[in-house]
Amino acid sequence: MTDIKIFERRSLRESLQECLEGGYRPATLEEIKDLVLEGELPLEPYTTSTIDFNGERRAATEQELQNIDQTYRKGGRLLLLDDVFIGRVGDISLDFSGRFVGVRAGGAPKMETSTTS
Protein backbone atom coordinates (compact mmCIF):
# COMPACT_ATOMS: atom_id res chain seq x y z
CA MET A 1 0.00 0.00 0.00
CA THR A 2 1.25 3.46 -0.92
CA ASP A 3 1.67 6.10 1.82
CA ILE A 4 -0.74 8.78 0.55
CA LYS A 5 -2.67 11.69 2.01
CA ILE A 6 -5.30 13.94 0.43
CA PHE A 7 -4.74 17.71 0.73
CA GLU A 8 -7.98 19.58 0.00
CA ARG A 9 -10.50 22.27 1.05
CA ARG A 10 -7.98 25.02 0.49
CA SER A 11 -6.84 27.05 -2.48
CA LEU A 12 -4.50 25.33 -4.89
CA ARG A 13 -1.62 27.37 -3.45
CA GLU A 14 -2.43 26.41 0.15
CA SER A 15 -3.05 22.74 -0.64
CA LEU A 16 0.20 22.52 -2.58
CA GLN A 17 2.20 24.27 0.14
CA GLU A 18 0.73 22.03 2.86
CA CYS A 19 1.52 18.93 0.81
CA LEU A 20 5.15 19.92 0.19
CA GLU A 21 5.77 21.13 3.75
CA GLY A 22 4.21 17.95 5.16
CA GLY A 23 6.87 15.75 3.58
CA TYR A 24 4.75 14.67 0.62
CA ARG A 25 4.99 15.34 -3.07
CA PRO A 26 1.90 15.76 -5.26
CA ALA A 27 1.16 12.67 -7.33
CA THR A 28 1.35 12.79 -11.11
CA LEU A 29 -1.54 12.05 -13.43
CA GLU A 30 -0.28 8.50 -14.09
CA GLU A 31 0.25 7.80 -10.38
CA ILE A 32 -3.29 8.88 -9.53
CA LYS A 33 -4.72 6.79 -12.35
CA ASP A 34 -2.76 3.77 -11.04
CA LEU A 35 -3.93 4.38 -7.45
CA VAL A 36 -7.55 4.52 -8.62
CA LEU A 37 -7.17 1.33 -10.67
CA GLU A 38 -5.53 -0.43 -7.68
CA GLY A 39 -8.44 0.60 -5.45
CA GLU A 40 -6.35 2.84 -3.18
CA LEU A 41 -8.24 6.01 -4.20
CA PRO A 42 -11.86 6.65 -5.14
CA LEU A 43 -12.45 8.02 -8.64
CA GLU A 44 -12.92 11.70 -7.81
CA PRO A 45 -11.44 14.97 -9.12
CA TYR A 46 -7.78 15.55 -8.19
CA THR A 47 -5.25 18.22 -9.10
CA THR A 48 -2.09 16.50 -10.35
CA SER A 49 1.56 17.52 -10.46
CA THR A 50 1.60 16.80 -14.18
CA ILE A 51 2.17 20.10 -15.93
CA ASP A 52 1.18 21.17 -19.43
CA PHE A 53 3.25 23.75 -21.30
CA ASN A 54 1.61 24.39 -24.69
CA GLY A 55 0.52 20.78 -25.15
CA GLU A 56 3.67 19.16 -23.77
CA ARG A 57 2.98 17.21 -20.59
CA ARG A 58 5.48 16.12 -17.97
CA ALA A 59 5.91 15.85 -14.20
CA ALA A 60 6.45 19.31 -12.69
CA THR A 61 9.77 19.91 -10.99
CA GLU A 62 9.93 20.71 -7.30
CA GLN A 63 11.02 24.25 -8.20
CA GLU A 64 8.00 24.70 -10.51
CA LEU A 65 5.69 23.54 -7.72
CA GLN A 66 7.38 25.72 -5.06
CA ASN A 67 6.97 28.74 -7.39
CA ILE A 68 3.53 27.91 -8.80
CA ASP A 69 2.59 31.55 -9.49
CA GLN A 70 5.72 32.05 -11.60
CA THR A 71 5.11 28.71 -13.35
CA TYR A 72 1.59 29.85 -14.29
CA ARG A 73 2.87 33.24 -15.51
CA LYS A 74 5.23 31.34 -17.84
CA GLY A 75 2.26 29.43 -19.29
CA GLY A 76 2.43 26.17 -17.34
CA ARG A 77 -0.81 24.63 -16.07
CA LEU A 78 -1.33 21.71 -13.74
CA LEU A 79 -3.68 19.02 -15.00
CA LEU A 80 -6.93 18.08 -13.30
CA LEU A 81 -8.01 14.45 -13.34
CA ASP A 82 -11.76 14.02 -13.12
CA ASP A 83 -13.96 10.98 -13.51
CA VAL A 84 -14.87 12.09 -17.04
CA PHE A 85 -12.01 14.18 -18.38
CA ILE A 86 -8.44 15.35 -17.98
CA GLY A 87 -8.19 19.12 -18.17
CA ARG A 88 -5.88 22.00 -17.52
CA VAL A 89 -6.36 23.92 -14.29
CA GLY A 90 -6.98 27.59 -15.12
CA ASP A 91 -5.55 30.65 -13.38
CA ILE A 92 -8.59 31.13 -11.14
CA SER A 93 -7.94 27.72 -9.61
CA LEU A 94 -4.78 29.03 -7.95
CA ASP A 95 -7.04 30.86 -5.52
CA PHE A 96 -10.21 28.79 -5.45
CA SER A 97 -9.49 25.08 -5.68
CA GLY A 98 -6.89 22.44 -5.13
CA ARG A 99 -7.12 18.79 -4.19
CA PHE A 100 -3.81 16.97 -4.27
CA VAL A 101 -2.93 13.36 -3.58
CA GLY A 102 0.28 13.56 -1.60
CA VAL A 103 2.71 10.66 -1.91
CA ARG A 104 5.22 10.34 0.93
CA ALA A 105 8.39 12.04 -0.29
CA GLY A 106 11.19 9.69 -1.23
CA GLY A 107 9.30 7.63 -3.77
CA ALA A 108 10.43 8.36 -7.30
CA PRO A 109 7.73 10.04 -9.41
CA LYS A 110 6.60 8.33 -12.58
CA MET A 111 7.77 10.47 -15.46
CA GLU A 112 5.21 11.23 -18.14
CA THR A 113 6.05 11.85 -21.74
CA SER A 114 2.65 12.08 -23.40
CA THR A 115 1.87 15.15 -25.49
CA THR A 116 -1.25 16.53 -27.01
CA SER A 117 -1.65 18.36 -30.28
Domain tally, the chain:
1
Considering the domain boundaries, does residue 115 fall inside one?
no
Considering the domain boundaries, does residue 61 fall inside one?
yes
- Please provide the average confidence, as pLDDT, over all residues in the chain: 84
- Express each pLDDT in 34-70 by its tens digit: 998 899 999 888 999 999 998 899 999 999 999 999 9
pLDDT of residue 117 exceeding 70: no
Select from 5, 55, 53 the least CA-distant residue to 27: 5
Considering the domain boundaries, does residue 111 fall inside one?
no
Considering the domain boundaries, does residue 81 fall inside one?
yes
Considering the domain boundaries, does residue 113 fall inside one?
no
Q: Is 117 or 86 the better-scoring residue by pLDDT?
A: 86
- Is the distance from CB of 105 to CB of 9 less than 8 angstroms? no
Q: What is the pLDDT of residue 113?
A: 33
Domain of residue 41, residue span: 4-104
Q: What is the pLDDT of residue 92?
A: 62
Considering the domain boundaries, does residue 116 fall inside one?
no
Considering the domain boundaries, does residue 34 fall inside one?
yes
**Structure confidence at residue 111 as a pLDDT band (50, 70, 90):** very low
Residue 75 is inside which H or E element, if any?
Answer: none
Paired sense of beta strands 4-7 and 100-104, if any: antiparallel
The domain that holds 39 is classified in CATH as: 3.10.100
Considering the domain boundaries, does residue 109 fall inside one?
no
Query: What pTM value is reported for the model?
Result: 0.81
